[in-house]
A and B are shown apart, each in its own frame.
Chain A
């Protein structure tokens, strides 16, 4: 059946995953990755999910990254969670937070009202009582415009040395279109023609919230779109979690059996990974102006799941006078939609505390981080604005 489950055979009980897991440290309700992963999996498989506690796994994937034996721990948990929710029925809250393309499309035309409402205490209280979305949790602001609309209006430069297809993801489209604009301008500055196909959600939030059938539909639909875009050119993305979905998770965790997805998986790159590749070949413009700022950088868990090192650090190091601080705390605690949930908000903040403290200690002007939900959480936890690394590159280019 699933190759993920079979990796439980490699577990020698060494407990390394347990010592790294930031979530089991933060709550007794999560028994730890070894427990819910290779151990508990031996008790699953017949009718009825025995353990609800596995839902306290955030899916950050640190356990899988640190396992020296190759056990796909987070992936086992993810699959077990899908079975749990299939049996119990997915709560309305999880269905809503798992569909950013739907909430984005609904909120965008009424952005001022929606933003006002989502920041009003009575509304947040009601949201917490009715849906279980914690009233303190960091919700994004609707931009009131979409990146897609900008991209469709834009006429890029005529001459180009190459093409890239841009997978911007839902957050860029509805909440941070400026990040997408920066990505396009950066790439164009480096001589690329940027193709932006109309695109939907990758399915990751659905996967994390246990709705595998819907997640598979979204992933396949997106794969078909991207497969047709840019004639085989590299697909570049600024959302490390969504691009990890395309690169690996949809194939491995959702077990989507789809040729288009396999092709897309092969040609998808994180934007920093792509730019650093250019630099290594001497093809990246390095006409950076000095940026005298102190910027701590946090590599999100899903970024580390790419197995590409931390290319953002190397890129940002090219900017003169930028004081870059590498943060080594494990996780910000938000894990996509985990920290939004009433029963998990406080866990999420406890997990993030180490990172928040490191940020505060750095006395920063800004923080940099590749993932949007992590940026919102870091700002929520520290009050310091957080930007994608491309924002800093863009500024340093003086674009």
Chain B
């Protein structure tokens, strides 16, 4: 069994865990981050991509709104390349209570969310597909944030400060010595190897899975996994984040992110964060709500649907709350020494990607306190790798990068414009045989055909690289197809149904992939 020793063991490779690992490493603490799958494979990688201005929370949850304001500004600075400055609109649509707009304005003033009312005509000029019957429109500094880029940038920064990042390592158990958690036993799910980590402090940043981890130390943390579904539409129906100006509810956000626009979301309590199926009812609900924001939404092409699971935690009345949206979206830091008499374990939960840096800061402050060291947080001062020049992400970048001779290089994924060279670089850098890992790195197979035309190409290239044997490459192809299918089958209508047919003819009819599974 391999053994590691460190100051801080961070459990969970979402935005919170990656943020904690970066913060701890920047403060000079020995840091190991462990993630059971790939980075940002859980809740972080399954949200709509909205970097909140705070506007959504100004009436319902003012403390959450107050947290968003400075964090939004900090992330725009330190994670510039991960963010597209789309701006956000709150619009009063016909079904919305017009009185909410005044509450919203008052809430923005009270919490410090910058807001400017736009004349309706101007809002419609800016977003011509928006429902022409909106009665008011407010501009706020919402933005779109790429979760994978952000988490990977944090991880790379942490690594540069000496942290170790262990993906595909599952926590088998926490190791206790008396009243103290002193480390964890891990299993490398790719090699089967066991790894032991001794740590002065363990930070449980496993989000919706935090209850499962805490239980390993004998602590009872009641996480209410709140499932939210999102549908990615084939192209950008809007170029600005659109929110309904009403009390937060289901399907009231439309986020333009990268080449798609994502409508979300729902909020349904589920018992197990690993079981979050998408129901037909939820899909219909999203499409109906989309129609309110953008007339003709149902005729537009839906690419894919997925569910994420929020880690909502409420200490005071566990088991009593059924609508998880009533729980504050602010984070909670649990010091299990004070709470449960278990030393050496902190749980950071709740919160949202917009405030992940702040969550990491308060967590590492507590870690330092435990370790008896005084080191200030610097994560708000230093830009993430790739964001040093301060330029925001631009939608046209990939297309522009292929000029002036667009056909000079072979394209593997046509929808997301990924060249063979980019794919090979990613395979080398990620040292992975899993095409789904590559997907999260490059957006491979995330466009309209959902891998229909690129995954067989990518499989061949993977096979040709570093002696990945045919069986492994084929296995990767099959699991990729399976993963894509999960997101496509609940929205099979119209254009995406036709695409699915064509993809099926390619993979079953021409390539006979069924045989590969034998």
Residues on A facing B (Cβ under 8 Å): 1, 5-6, 8-14, 28-29, 31-32, 34-35, 38-46, 48-53, 69
Residue of B nearest to A51 (CB): B399
Determine if B498 and A50 form an interchain contact, defined as CB atoms under 8 angstroms apart: no
B259 touches A42 (CB 8 A): yes
Q: Given contacts A42-B447, A46-B239, could you give 12 more A-B pairs where the C-beta distance is less than 8 Å?
A: A5-B235, A6-B300, A8-B235, A10-B495, A12-B499, A40-B399, A42-B234, A42-B235, A43-B399, A48-B394, A51-B402, A69-B495
Residues of A within 8 A of B406 (CB): 29, 31, 35, 51, 53
Other-chain residue from B398, B399, B407, B499 in contact with A28 (beta carbon distance below 8 A): B407
With contacts A29-B405, A44-B399, A51-B403 known, is A1 near B495, CB below 8 A? no
- Contact, CB under 8 Å: B236 / A13: no
- Interface 9-residue window, one of B4-12, B269-277, B448-456: B448-456
- Residues in A with CB closer than 8 Å to B510 are none
Alpha-carbon distance A9/B453, docked complex (angstroms): 16
4 tightest Cβ-Cβ pairs between the two chains A and B: A50-B396, A9-B301, A31-B406, A50-B400
Residues of A within 8 A of B408 (CB): 28
Chain B neighbourhood of A28, CB < 8 A: 405, 407-408
Is B426 an interface residue when CB atoms closer than 8 A count as contact? no
Q: Is B318 an interface residue (CB 8 A)?
A: no
User: How far, in whole Å, are A77 and B407 apart by their CA atoms in the complex?
Assistant: 17
Chain A nearest CB: distance from B495 CB in Å? 5
Nearest-Cβ distance from residue A263 to partner chain B, whole angstroms: 26
Judge whether B96 is part of the interface by a CB distance below 8 angstroms.
no
- How far is the CB of B355 from the nearest CB of chain A, in Å? 26
In Å, the complex CA distance between A253 and B353 comes to 42
CB nearest to B453 among chain A residues: A13
Q: How far is the CA of A9 from the CA of B494 in the complex (A)?
A: 10
Q: Is B415 an interface residue (CB 8 A)?
A: yes
A34-B414, A53-B403, A53-B404 are known contacts. Are A43 and B259 too (CB-CB below 8 A)? yes
Could you tell me which residues of chain B, from 95 to 120, have a CB within 8 Å of some CB in chain A?
none
Between A and B, 23 residue pairs with Cβ closer than 8 Å are: A1-B128, A8-B235, A9-B235, A9-B300, A9-B301, A10-B495, A12-B449, A13-B452, A13-B502, A28-B405, A28-B407, A28-B408, A35-B406, A35-B414, A39-B414, A42-B447, A43-B396, A45-B395, A49-B396, A50-B396, A50-B397, A50-B399, A53-B405
- B235-A13 in contact (CB<8A): no
Interface 1/0s, chain B 490-517, versus A by CB < 8 A?
0000110011001000000000000000
Q: How many whole Å from A70's CB to the nearest CB in chain B?
A: 10
The answer to the question of B417 belonging to the interface, with a C-beta cut-off of 8 Å to chain A, is yes
Contacts of B495 in A (CB 8 A): 9-10, 12, 69
Say yes or no for B176: interface residue by CB 8 A criterion: no
- Chain A residues with CB under 8 Å of B259's CB are 42-43
Given contacts A6-B300, A14-B502, contact A45 B407 (CB under 8 A): no
Q: Which residues of B contact A52 (CB under 8 A)?
A: 403-404
At the interface, yes or no: B325 with Cβ under 8 Å from chain A? Answer: no
Q: A12-B449, A43-B398 are in contact. Are A69 and B498 (CB under 8 A)?
A: yes
Closest to A52 in B: B403
Query: With a CB–CB cut-off of 8 A, which chain A residues contact B407?
Result: 28, 31-32
Q: How far is the CB of A290 from chain B (nearest CB, A)?
A: 51
Report the nearest A residue to B401, measured CB to CB. Answer: A50
Pair B404/A43 contact, Cβ less than 8 Å: no
In the complex, the answer to whether B396 meets A12 with C-beta atoms within 8 Å is: no
**Do residues A46 and B395 form an inter-chain contact, with CB atoms below 8 A?**
yes
Determine how close the nearest CB of chain B comes to the CB of A47; give it in whole angstroms.
8
CA distance A360 to B406 in the complex (A): 34
Cα distance, A41 to B417, chains bound together (Å): 12
Residues from chain B with Cβ under 8 Å of A40 in the complex: 399
Tell me the smallest distance from the CB of A81 to a CB of chain B, in Å.
Answer: 14
Indicate which residue in B260, B404, B415 contacts A13 across the interface (CB closer than 8 Å).
B415
- Chain A residues near B417: list those with CB within 8 A: 39, 43
Least CB distance from A343 to B in Å reads 11
Q: Which residues of A contact B185 (CB under 8 A)?
A: none
Q: Roughly how many angstroms separate A204 CA and B417 CA in the complex, as a whole number?
A: 32
Tell me if B136 counts as interface (CB < 8 A to partner A).
no
The residues of A that contact B296 with a CB separation of less than 8 Å are 6
